[in-house]
Structure 1
Amino acid sequence: MIGFLAKRVGFAALVLFLLSAFIFLLFFVAPGDPARLVAGERASDAQVQQVRENLGLGKPVLAQYGDFVMRSLSGDLGFSYRNQQPVLTLIQQRMPATISLCAGAVVMWLLLGIPIGIMSARKPGSLRDRLGQVFILVGVSFPSFVLGMAALYCLYFLPRQAGFTLFPAGSYKPISDGVLDWAWHLVLPWLSLALTSAAIYARLTRGQMLEVLGEDYIRTARAKGLKERVVVFKHGLRAVLTPLTTQLGADVAVLLGGAIVTEQVFGLQGIGSLAVQAVNSQDRPVIIGIVLLAGFFIVVANIVVDLLYVALDPRVRTGAA
C-alpha cells in the first residue's frame, strides 16, 4: 500500500511540475514583453518597469523559473494590477462559493445516481427500472447550463409569478449566516450541476450491479438464506464502489468546467466567475493563479480518491493489484 501511495504522490508532483513549467513558458518565455502582458496594455512605463523588477525578468530563464516556483510555493500567486489586490486574496474571497457548489454537487449526484442505479438493477425490466432509464436519458441529454435555466424557470420564476418564493434565483450566502440559508441558496445550482453526473453514475451503477448480481458468490449468498438487502448492499455494492471511485477521480478533474457555467447562470461570485472576468479583462496574474490553484486541487482530489480506492480494494493494500 505504501508503494502504491508513493507512486501516486510522485506522479502528482510530476504533474504539478509540468503544469508550472507549461504556464511559465506560456506567459514568461513566449514572444512579447511579459511585464507588459502582466501589467496590462494601459499600464504606464513606470508600472511596467516595476513589474519587470518584481518578476526578476532580467535574470536567466532558469533563475526566473526557480523564482516563479518558489513564489508559488510560498503562496505568492502574483498581484492583480486591475483589481489592485494580491491574486491569492482575490481567490480566497471567491473560494468558499466554489467549494460549496462543487462539494454539494458531488454529494448530491452520488446520493441520487447510486440509489437510482441500484434500484434499476435489482429488478431489470420493471417499472422502476424504466423510470431509472428515463432519468438517465434525460440527465445525459442536457448540458448543465440548460438544466440551470430550466431550474430557474420552473422553481424560481413560475412560483414568483404565482405569488410565492420556492427557491432564490441565486447568489451565495456564507455558511456562517446559517446552514439552512446557505443550502437554500445553493439547491438550484447543485441540481443543475449534479443531474448530468447523477445520470452517468446511475447508468454506471446499474451496469456494474447487473454484472455483479449475476456472479457465483452472489448466488451462493442468496442460497445461504441471506436477506436480499444484505446481498445487494453488503456484497454487491462493495464490488461496485471501486469502479465508481475511479470514475469519481476522473470527474473531479472536469468539475471546475461545469462550475464555471453554473456560477455564471446563477450569479455565484466564485472562482469560475473570477476566471471569466480575468479572461475578459486579460488579467494574466489572476489567470495564472487560478490555473495553478485549480491544478493543485485536482491533484489533491485525485490523491484522496486513490486513498479511498486503497480502502475499498484489499488487493491494493496487499500489493496484489
Structure 2
Amino acid sequence: MTRFLLRRILFGVLVLWLVATTVFLLFFAGPADSVARRLAGPRAPIEVINQIKDTLGLNRPLWEQYVSFLGNLLHGDLGISFISQTPVTTLIVQSLPGTLWLVAGSAVLWMTAGITGGVISATRPRGLRDRVTTVLVLAGISVPTFILGMLMIYLALSVFPWFGLGPGPYISPLVDFRGFLQVMIMPWVCLAVVQAAVYVRLTRGSMLDTLGEDYIRTARAKGAPEHRIIYRHGLRAALTPVITQFGVDIGTLLGGVVVTESVFGLQGLGQLMIRSVRDGDLPVIIGAAILAAAFIVIANILVDVAYSFLDPRVRLA
C-alpha cells in the first residue's frame, strides 16, 4: 500500500513540475521588454515595466529565471499582481473559501442524489421509477447552469421571499452561519442538479453491468439478502467509474466554478479568474492555473487511494 501511494505521489509531483515548466515557458520565454509588458498589463507606464524587469530579473539568463521561478513556487510565492499591487497568494487565499464551500456542499448533494438515483434505476430497469429518473436526468443535463441559477434567484426573491435566500458574496460560517446558509443553499442546489444528472446515468450503467456478473448470480443462488447483494457486493464494485468521474469533477471545479459563481455573485476563484482575464492580470492567471493543476493532481491521488479500498486488486497491480 505504501509503495502504491508513493508511486502515485511521485507521479503527481512530476505532473505539477511539467505544468509549472509549461507555464513558465509560455509566459516568460521571450524578450524582457515583451514579458514585462505582458505581466504589467496593456496600460502600464514605462516606469512600471522597468520596475518589473528589475524585480523579476528578466534580464538574467532564462535558466536562472526558471530556477528562481521554481524556488518561489516551492516557498508558496506566486508573485505580485502588478495591477492591484497585492500578492497573488493573498488574492487566492481570500477567494478560495467561497469556492471550497461551494464545491464541497454541492458534491455532497450530487453524490447522494446521483448514487441513490442510479441504484434505484438499476434495481428496477425499464420500470416506472427508472423512466421517471431518466426524464429527470435528461432535464437536469439539458438545462444550462446560468438558466437554472437565474430561475432559482427569481423564485427565491419573488415567489418565496420569506426564506431569506438570495445571491450575494460569500459569508464565512464562523461569522454568520445563518447568512452563510442563505447565500450558499441556492448555488449548492444549482450546481448539484447539473452534476447529479451525470452521476445517476453513470451509476445506473455501472450497476447494471455489475449486477450481471457471475459472482452476483452466485450470491443470489446462495440465498443472500437482496439488499446485501446490491449494496455490499454490487454497489461497491460499481463505484469505481463513479469515483473516477468524481475526482476529475472535484479537481476541475475547485479551479473555479465560473458560471455558478458569476450568477450568484460569490467572490470565489472563478470570479477572480474572470477579473484577471478581463484586466490582463497575468501573475494572477499564472498562479490560478498552477493552483488548478494542483487541485486536479491531488484529487486524482485521492481517487487512487479510494480505488485501493474499493478494489483490493488495485493495491497489488
Instruction: Classify the TM-score, shorter chain.
Output: over 0.9
Amino acid of the residue matched to residue 27 of structure 1? F
Amino acid of the residue matched to residue 285 of structure 1? P
Inter-partner Cα distance in structure 2 for 1:178 and 1:218:
50
Deviation at 1:216, TM superposition (A): 2.6
Alignment correspondent of 2:226: 228
- Does the Cα contact within 8 Å between 1:121 and 1:209 map onto a contact in 2? yes
Deviation at 1:166, TM superposition (A): 5.3
Inter-partner Cα distance in structure 1 for 2:214 and 2:63:
60
Other structure's SS at 2:257 match? helix
Alignment root-mean-square deviation, CA = 1.9
Cα 1:258/1:222, change in 2 over 3 Å: farther
Alignment correspondent of 1:254: 252
1:240-283 per-position Cα deviation (integer Å, ceiling 9, x unaligned): 11221122222234324771111000000011101100110111
- Between stretches 243-252 and 90-99, larger displacement belongs to 243-252
- Does the Cα contact within 8 Å between 1:167 and 1:185 map onto a contact in 2? yes
Q: Which runs of 4+ in 1 moved over 4 A?
A: none
Other structure's SS at 1:168 match? coil
Inter-partner Cα distance in structure 2 for 1:182 and 1:297:
24
Inter-partner Cα distance in structure 2 for 1:203 and 1:41:
47
- Does the Cα contact within 8 Å between 1:24 and 1:65 map onto a contact in 2? yes
- Does the Cα contact within 8 Å between 1:209 and 1:240 map onto a contact in 2? yes
- Does the Cα contact within 8 Å between 2:115 and 2:203 map onto a contact in 1? yes
Deviation at 1:120, TM superposition (A): 0.9
- Does the Cα contact within 8 Å between 1:156 and 1:169 map onto a contact in 2? no
Residue 75, structure 1, aligned to residue 76, structure 2 = yes
Amino acid of the residue matched to residue 152 of structure 1? I
Inter-partner Cα distance in structure 2 for 1:257 and 1:296:
9
Normalised to the residue count of structure 1, the TM-score between the two structures is 0.92
Cα 1:86/1:257, change in 2 over 3 Å: closer
Inter-partner Cα distance in structure 2 for 1:17 and 1:300:
14
Inter-partner Cα distance in structure 2 for 1:127 and 1:78:
57
Structure 2 unaligned segments of length 5 or more: list them.
none
Deviation at 1:129, TM superposition (A): 1.2
Aligned residue pairs, count: 316
Alignment correspondent of 2:21: 21
Cα 1:180/1:211, change in 2 over 3 Å: farther
Inter-partner Cα distance in structure 1 for 2:154 and 2:275:
26
1:37-81 per-position Cα deviation (integer Å, ceiling 9, x unaligned): 222233333322221111111211011011011111111111112
Normalised to the residue count of structure 2, the TM-score between the two structures is 0.93
Residue 4, structure 1, aligned to residue 7, structure 2 = no
Other structure's SS at 1:33 match? helix
Inter-partner Cα distance in structure 2 for 1:172 and 1:193:
16
Inter-partner Cα distance in structure 1 for 2:81 and 2:98:
20
Inter-partner Cα distance in structure 2 for 1:2 and 1:122:
37
